[in-house]
């Protein structure tokens, strides 16, 4: 095929309790996020690349450096692989100062990293007196100070105070933007992945399901799983052709919707919350699909509100929600276009 060998190439199979982690991909440059539910094998993937886990077979390496090759019996220990890793809980050495932590792998680039990550004023502090965001920066500086070929981040947002997430995430995004080496990041939160990375690979049960940009994944999810991971409504139903180029889908639970996708038989119906409008009265408009149901829940986050009625979740501005006086128990109408109704065969 004449394919260029990507800088980081990963191809292995490793047995886990319920499934095998089996994947093959490459990363040339930039940042790729691996998104998937807990237990899908994401952390195992990173640990295997770092050399902390040994696969049954496969090849892992960077350009012409071979870190693991089952056929050639190569298995370099972590200390011999030029991999920088940021652990989920940061794993900072509690008995060492920030400076000694960053300089642990070597003192050459320590000062530079302290400067880059704005840690110079904190360099004599111990990890215990740092905030979550500061610890993250120390972990990052420490990993980068060893001049690795690849940077791995395991759930970088997981051990942070939820209240500060947005702030830290923005900061992290900027910092990662300056990193020149290929970076792999795993997370269970699609929103984090979409915010931080240009490319996202969806992972479940040890396998990669789909790789693409965030908008590609949201717009064209390969299956219901990917769709639900990216935050879409996924409703089961049975489809059949209905004339006018439309399909009619009878949803489990009783409602009927139409879609511009062609499909027959059992399908996942995918509708994005922000494509769903909510009203109190049925009006004549361009939307074909209406679901009338009592409101089950209404959740506010910031200036947006997610309202669940019947099988569908709608996302609207909080202002609109208040204007309509939407409350739990009220009957309302969710409307969305047939063109916004995707069908994915099951």
Residues that bind other proteins (CB under 8 A): 50-52, 77-79, 81, 83-85, 87, 89, 91-95, 104-106, 126-128, 142-143, 146
Closest distance between other proteins and the C-beta of residue 270, in Å? 39
Looking at beta carbons only, is 155 or 275 nearer to other proteins?
Answer: 155
Question: What's the CA gap between 49 and 53, in Å, rounded?
Answer: 8
Closest distance between other proteins and the C-beta of residue 174, in Å? 24
**C-alpha angle 64-69-75 in degrees, rounded to nearest 5:** 100
Looking at beta carbons only, is 16 or 290 nearer to other proteins?
Answer: 16
Looking at beta carbons only, is 94 or 329 nearer to other proteins?
Answer: 94
Closest distance between other proteins and the C-beta of residue 78, in Å? 4
Phi and psi, residue 118, nearest 5°? 55, 45
Closest distance between other proteins and the C-beta of residue 9, in Å? 19
Question: What's the CA gap between 144 and 150, in Å, rounded?
Answer: 9
Looking at beta carbons only, is 147 or 297 nearer to other proteins?
Answer: 147
Closest distance between other proteins and the C-beta of residue 136, in Å? 14
Closest distance between other proteins and the C-beta of residue 58, in Å? 20
Closest distance between other proteins and the C-beta of residue 125, in Å? 11
Looking at beta carbons only, is 65 or 264 nearer to other proteins?
Answer: 65
């Amino acid at each position: 095929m004449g394919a260029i060998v990507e800088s980081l190439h990963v191809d292995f199979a490793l047995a886990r309790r319920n499934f095998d982690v089996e994947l093959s991909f490459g990363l040339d440059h930039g940042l790729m996020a691996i998104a998937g539910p807990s237990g899908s094998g994401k952390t195992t993937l990173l640990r295997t690349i770092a050399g902390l886990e040994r696969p049954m077979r496969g090849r892992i390496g960077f350009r012409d450096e071979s870190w693991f090759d089952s056929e050639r019996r190569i298995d370099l220990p972590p200390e011999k692989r030029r991999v920088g890793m940021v652990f989920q809980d940061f794993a900072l050495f509690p008995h060492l100062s920030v400076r000694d932590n960053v300089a642990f792998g070597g003192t050459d680039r320590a000062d530079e990293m302290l400067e880059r990550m704005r840690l110079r004023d904190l360099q004599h502090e111990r990890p215990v007196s740092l905030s979550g965001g500061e610890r993250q920066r120390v972990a990052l500086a420490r990993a980068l100070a060893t001049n690795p070929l690849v940077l791995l981040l395991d759930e970088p947002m997981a051990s942070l105070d939820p209240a500060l997430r947005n702030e830290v995430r923005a900061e992290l995004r900027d910092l990662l933007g300056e990193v020149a080496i290929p970076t792999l990041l795993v997370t269970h939160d699609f929103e984090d992945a979409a915010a931080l990375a240009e490319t996202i690979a969806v992972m479940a049960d040890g396998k990669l399901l789909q790789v693409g940009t965030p908008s590609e994944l949201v717009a064209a999810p390969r299956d219901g799983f990917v769709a639900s991971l990216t935050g879409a409504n996924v409703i089961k139903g049975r489809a059949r052709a209905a004339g006018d180029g439309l399909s009619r889908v009878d949803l489990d639970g009783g409602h009927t919707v139409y879609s511009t996708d062609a499909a027959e038989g059992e399908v996942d119906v995918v509708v994005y919350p922000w494509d769903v409008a909510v009203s109190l009265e049925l009006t004549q408009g361009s939307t074909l699909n209406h679901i009338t149901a009592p409101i089950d829940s209404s959740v506010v986050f910031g200036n947006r509100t997610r309202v669940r009625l019947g099988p569908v979740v709608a996302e609207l501005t909080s202002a609109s929600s208040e204007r309509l006086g939407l409350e739990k128990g009220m009957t309302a109408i969710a409307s969305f276009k047939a063109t916004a109704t995707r069908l994915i065969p099951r």
